[in-house]
Amino acid sequence: MRLLIIGRLNGELITASRIAMSRGAAVTQADGIEQGLNALRAKGADLVMVDVSLPVRVLVTALADERIRTPVVACGTGTDANAAVAAIRAGAKEYIPLPPDPELIAAVLEAVASDARSFVWGDPSMERVVKLAEQVARSDASVLITGESGTGKEVLARHVHARSNRANKPFVSVNCAAIPDALLESELFGHEKGAFTGAVARRIGRFEEASGGTLLLDEISEMDVRLQAKLLRALQERVIDRVGGTQPVKVDIRVLATSNRNLAEEARKGTFREDLLYRLNVVNLRLPPLRDRPADILALAEHFARKYAEANGLAARPLSAEARRLVTQSPWPGNVRELENTLHRAVLLASGPEIDADAIRSPEGDALSTGATGAGAAARAVQAAEAVTRGFVGRSLADVERDLILDTLDHCLGNRTHAAKILGISIRTLRNKLNEYTGAGITVAEPGQTRMLAAYG
């Protein structure tokens, strides 16, 4: 855990720094916002703690402008309520009152270190995957983690890092699907001052930030094939070139990558370099979908029920027998991510001593489907299909496509990667469609929302 404290180290801040170091954090200090930004550009950090007397909004805005995604918490004297509120409104994630409480600081550090992700499993189908992951964890071999969207690929990657010889070094994750192609090279390799418009200072990239530790390239299949060549050189030679730079920079990293696509098939189509696939795929860990891990479903459901009860200040409640039956029989097309969202919703909707089946509902409020089979279910499916087909008559193909894309995005609560997977299109194609709809004045669901929430929330 790398903690950057921005503010003069006197009195309470010295105590906070000592507490953080006693909990295993590597602490760096900067007196002001600009010095703090320079430290982040040069070394990176996992968490920023900023004195509330400094301009927190300036810091948060600068981080957003430079695409530095380090979370910020503010700290100040416990009696300064107005400053605390202003800091949260400015974009700070939390407020820590001073003098510092050791357990509170420990909880914040732990939340960031674990990134709120727990590795929960128990199904025999996961046994081979976990054993292989732990067997190769202490090596420096590249690992490719594959599986459907929402199966927990990043969670497994963090587990590999935690069991590796680099566990006490940085774990840096880059979502290749979430960053535009024009910016991804700078995000990965860094840039020199003036390399392009907006490059106000030299900034190290994720490769340098992860040096000594582990770099996760999440959804690597979405990376432009031209950038893949530069990535291949970095993996082979362990050197990178900053954008606008003239000297190569050595890096010491272990690379993990994830994909919800078949990269061998992508290589055959020419959208993914075959030589890069060989470099990444030294070991392949394939996560089975949740529907093939029945013993994991209940373990995860109970874990999420406890997690979100605690997060919302509610008493922990067990799942009723009917709720347990319902969650184990659901097909979970969205895998662990869908199960987590459903249990979060159930914790909030439940009213009795148990989480009953009535609280297990879809985002639209409908009863959860169990994927029932049999003659009755088949007849209902045929009727539903006929009704859908009749609804297409008289409509243009573009209108049908638009509604399908927007409804799928609603179903995924705005998750672009998940929606693209369900639709069978690339994340770029989906983004282009959404930009087209937004330009036409059509409401599009933002991440974590449906169109209704985006329009009225």
Name the more confident of 250 and 440.
250
Q: Express each pLDDT in 222-251 by its tens digit.
A: 999 989 999 999 999 999 999 998 889 999
Looking at residue 33, what is its pLDDT?
93
* Average pLDDT score over residue span 264-273: 92
pLDDT band for position 12 (cuts 50, 70, 90) = confident
* Average pLDDT score over residue span 392-421: 81
Rounded Cα gap, residues 173 and 158, in angstroms: 9
pLDDT band for position 119 (cuts 50, 70, 90) = confident
Superfamily of domain 380-456: Homeodomain-like (1.10.10.60)
Distances 218 to 31, 215, 221, 258, 417 between C-alpha atoms, Å: 35, 9, 9, 5, 11
Residue 129 has pLDDT above 60, yes or no: yes
Rounded Cα gap, residues 35 and 268, in angstroms: 48
* Average pLDDT score over residue span 353-371: 83
Looking at residue 454, what is its pLDDT?
53
Residue 114 has pLDDT above 60, yes or no: no
The torsion angle over the Cα atoms of residues 23, 24, 26 and 29, rounded to 10 degrees, is 10
**Which of 160-164, 175-179, 270-274, 449-453 has the least mean pLDDT?**
449-453
Q: Express each pLDDT in 285-344 by its tens digit.
A: 999 999 999 889 998 999 999 988 987 888 889 999 999 999 999 999 999 999 999 999
Looking at residue 389, what is its pLDDT?
55
Rounded Cα gap, residues 329 and 294, in angstroms: 9
Looking at residue 369, what is its pLDDT?
67
Residue 138 has pLDDT above 90, yes or no: yes
Mean pLDDT taken over the chain: 85
**Which of 137-141, 293-297, 366-370 has the least mean pLDDT?**
366-370
* Average pLDDT score over residue span 366-390: 53
Rounded Cα gap, residues 21 and 208, in angstroms: 23
The encoded tokens of residue 165 equal: 């010889």
Instruction: Give 85: exposed, middle or buried? Use CB within 10 Å, 0-12, 13-18, 19+.
Output: exposed
Looking at residue 375, what is its pLDDT?
45
What are the φ/ψ torsions at residue 77 (nearest 5 degrees)? -60, 140
Residue 92 has pLDDT above 90, yes or no: no
Residue 116 has pLDDT above 60, yes or no: no
All CATH 1.10.8.60 domain ranges of the chain, comma separated, are: 290-359
- 2-114 — its CATH code? 3.40.50.2300
All CATH 3.40.50.2300 domain ranges of the chain, comma separated, are: 2-114
Q: Which CATH class is domain 290-359?
A: mainly alpha
pLDDT band for position 66 (cuts 50, 70, 90) = confident
Superfamily of domain 124-286: P-loop containing nucleotide triphosphate hydrolases (3.40.50.300)
- pLDDT over 90, % of the chain: 44
Q: Express each pLDDT in 193-210 by its tens digit.
A: 888 877 888 888 999 999
Task: Note the Cα 399 to chain centre separation in Å.
Answer: 32
Instruction: Give 215: exposed, middle or buried? Use CB within 10 Å, 0-12, 13-18, 19+.
Output: buried
Looking at residue 206, what is its pLDDT?
93
pLDDT band for position 367 (cuts 50, 70, 90) = confident
All CATH 3.40.50.300 domain ranges of the chain, comma separated, are: 124-286
- Give the 3-state DSSP-derived string for the chain, with helices as H, strands as E and coil as C: CEEEEECCCCCHHHHHHHHHHHCCCEEEEECCHHHHHHHHHHHCCCEEEEECCCCHHHHHHHHHHCCCCCCEEEEEECCCHHHHHHHHHHCCCEEEEECCCHHHHHHHHHHHHHCCCCCCCCCHHHHHHHHHHHHHCCCCCCEEEECCCCCCHHHHHHHHHHCCCCCCCCEEEEECCCCCHHHHHHHHHCECCCCCCCCCCCECCHHHHCCCCEEEEECHHHCCHHHHHHHHHHHHHCEECCECCCCCEECCCEEEEEECCCHHHHHHHCCCCHHHHHHHCCEEEECCCHHHCHHHHHHHHHHHHHHHHHHCCCCCCCECHHHHHHHHHCCCCCHHHHHHHHHHHHHHHCCCCCECHHHCECCCCCECCCCCCCHHHHHHHHHHHHHHHHHHCCCCHHHHHHHHHHHHHHHCCCCHHHHHHHHCCCHHHHHHHHHHHHHCCCCCCCCCCCHHHHHHC
Rounded Cα gap, residues 238 and 245, in angstroms: 16
* Tokens 């409509």, located at residue: 395
**Which of 59-68, 110-119, 230-239, 380-389 has the least mean pLDDT?**
380-389
- pLDDT over 70, % of the chain: 89
The encoded tokens of residue 346 equal: 């159930």
What's the pTM value of the predicted model, to 2 decimals? Answer: 0.65
All CATH 1.10.10.60 domain ranges of the chain, comma separated, are: 380-456
Looking at residue 249, what is its pLDDT?
92
